[in-house]
Amino acid sequence: MKRPRLLSPSRILRETIRTPGGARNREPLVEKSYNAIAEGSKSFAAASMLFDRKTRERVWLLYAWCRRCDDLADAQDMGGKLGDQTDIANRVKHIRVLTRAALEGQPTAEPAFDAFGLVASEAGLTMEDADAVIAGFELDAADWRPRSEKDMMQYCWHVAGAVGVMMALVMGVRRDDADTLDRACDLGLAFQLANIARDLVEDDAAGRCYLPVEWLVEEDIEPGQHTKPHHRPELSDMAERLVLMMERHAAASRLGAARLPFRSRWAILSAARIYTAIGREVRAKGTAAWDHRVYTSKLQKLGHVAAAFFEAVINNPKPPDEMPRWSRTELAQAADAA
C-alpha cells in the first residue's frame, strides 16, 4: 500500500501577507490616483495642487476610490455616459467586497481600491465611513426616487456629504471635532446640490430623477415630464431652489474651512468657489441652463483660485444669515434608520 505523498515545503499554501495598499508601492498608487483626478475632475485637480504634498497625495488617493466606485456602479468611464444599468446591484456588491478587502490590506487587483486601503491606513478611515458612501450607490441600484426634500438630502449625504467628511479626516481633522466635520459635510452637500441642478436633463435621459416628488407636485408637473420644454419655467424654479440650498451649505462650510491650515484652507475655498459657480451659472441661465452643459473655464478657475487666496489670508468668514436646514447628524441618523 502506497503512502500518501506530502506536499513539498514550497507548495504549502501560505496566507497572503496583508499590507496597506495591497502590497503595492505608494509612489505608483499616488501617480495613478493623480491621473484619475486629472481626468475625472479638472476643478478638483486644480484645487488639490494647493495642498501641501502629503495632504494632496492623500486627497488624490481618496478621490481615485470615489471615482472608481462611481464608474463601477454606473458602468461608465471617468464620469462619462451612463452604461447598462441592469446589473448595478451586483456591481455595488462588488464595490463593497473590494473596499473591505482593501481595508484589510489584501491586494484587490484594482489600483483605486488599493489606494483607498493605503490612505485609510494613513488617515484612520473605516468601513463605516466607506459604507456611508456605498449606500448612495445602493439607492441608485434600487431605482430609488426621493419623495421629500429630506430624502433628497439623505442621498446627497451618502454620495457627497460623507465624502466631505472623509476628505476632512484625510486633511487631519480629528474625528472628535464634530463641528468641523459638520462643515465639511456642508461643502459636500453644496457640491451635490450644484450637480443635481446642472444635470437635471442628463439624469432624466438616464432614467434618474433626484428632485423630490413633493416639489414636482407643488409645481403641478406630471410624473416623468419635468424636463419637457413646456415645463422649463418650473424646472428653472426648482433649480433656483437647489442653488439657494447650495449657497447656505457652502456659506456654512466656510466656518469649518477657517480652522484648517492655510494651504488646506486655500484649496478648500478654491474648490468651493469653482464648484458653486456652476450652480450660480445654472440659476443665471434660467430656462436655457440645460441647452448646453454648464462648466467653468480655465480662466474662471484661475480667478476663483486668486479670490480664494485673499479670502484664506483674511480668514474671517461671515456666518450665513440662516444656517442650513439639514445637518450631518440628522441626515446620517435618518439614513441609518432607513
Task: Name which of 63-67, 89-93, 239-243 the model is least confident about.
Answer: 89-93
> For residue 2, is pLDDT > 90?
no
In Å, how far from its chain's centre is CA 284? 25
Q: Which residue has the higher pLDDT, 7 or 115?
A: 115
Task: Name which of 41-45, 137-141, 228-232 the model is least confident about.
Answer: 41-45
pLDDT band at residue 18 under the 50/70/90 scheme? confident
Task: Name which of 64-68, 178-182, 204-208, 249-253 the model is least confident about.
Answer: 204-208
Closest CA to 69 of 44, 86, 94, 87: 94
**CA–CA distance from 123 to each of 20, 103, 110, 157, 167 (Å)?**
12, 12, 20, 21, 10
In this predicted model, what pLDDT tens digit does every residue of 290-336 receive, in sequence order? Answer: 999 998 898 999 999 999 999 999 999 998 889 999 999 999 887 77
Q: Which residue has the higher pLDDT, 173 or 39?
A: 173
DSSP per-residue letters across 260-329: S-HHHHHHHHHHHHHHHHHHHHHHHHGGGTTSS-----HHHHHHHHHHHHHHHHH--PPPPSS--S--HH
In Å, how far from its chain's centre is CA 202? 18
User: What's residue 28's pLDDT?
Assistant: 92
User: What's residue 8's pLDDT?
Assistant: 47
- Asked if 211 and 238 touch (Cβ cutoff 8 Å), the reply is yes
- Asked if 158 and 224 touch (Cβ cutoff 8 Å), the reply is no
pLDDT band at residue 79 under the 50/70/90 scheme? low
User: What's residue 131's pLDDT?
Assistant: 96
pLDDT > 90 in the chain, percent = 75
**Backbone phi and psi for residue 203, each to the nearest 5 degrees, phi listed first:** -65, -40
Is this model's pTM higher than 0.85 or not? yes
Which helix (H) or strand (E) is 198 found in, with range? helix 178-198
**CA–CA distance from 328 to each of 61, 153, 246 (Å)?**
24, 10, 15
In this predicted model, what pLDDT tens digit does every residue of 131-177 receive, in sequence order? Answer: 999 999 999 888 889 999 999 999 999 999 999 999 999 999 999 99
Compute the CA torsion angle 137, 141, 145, 151 (nearest 10 deg). -30
Rounded Cα distance, 54 and 59, in Å? 9
Rounded Cα distance, 324 and 249, in Å? 6
User: What's residue 278's pLDDT?
Assistant: 95
In this predicted model, what pLDDT tens digit does every residue of 182-228 receive, in sequence order? Answer: 999 999 999 999 999 999 999 998 888 999 999 999 999 988 899 99
User: What's residue 87's pLDDT?
Assistant: 74
pLDDT band at residue 78 under the 50/70/90 scheme? low
User: What's residue 124's pLDDT?
Assistant: 96
Rounded Cα distance, 145 and 186, in Å? 22
> For residue 41, is pLDDT > 90?
no
pLDDT band at residue 60 under the 50/70/90 scheme? very high
Closest CA to 98 of 122, 115, 82, 86: 115
Spell out the domain ranges in the chain. Answer: 20-125, 145-338
In this predicted model, what pLDDT tens digit does every residue of 261-293 receive, in sequence order? Answer: 999 999 999 999 999 999 999 999 999 999 999
Question: In 3-state terms, the chain is what percent helix, strand and coil (to 5)?
Answer: 70, 0, 30
pLDDT band at residue 15 under the 50/70/90 scheme? low
User: At 120, which amino acid appears?
Assistant: A
Q: Apex CA 137: angle with CA 133 and CA 143, to 5°? A: 145
Task: For residue 203, give the 3-state DSSP assignment.
Answer: helix
Q: Apex CA 210: angle with CA 209 and CA 216, to 5°? A: 80
**CA–CA distance from 321 to each of 242, 248, 279 (Å)?**
17, 8, 19
User: What's residue 7's pLDDT?
Assistant: 47
DSSP per-residue letters across 215-262: HHHHTTPPTT-TTSGGGHHHHHHHHHHHHHHHHHHHHHHHHHHTTS-H
Choices 1.10.600.10, 3.30.460.80, 1.10.150.120, 1.10.287.70: CATH for 145-338: 1.10.600.10
| Residues 49-62, mean pLDDT to the nearest whole number | 96
> For residue 12, is pLDDT > 50?
no
Q: Which cell is 336 given?
A: 441609518
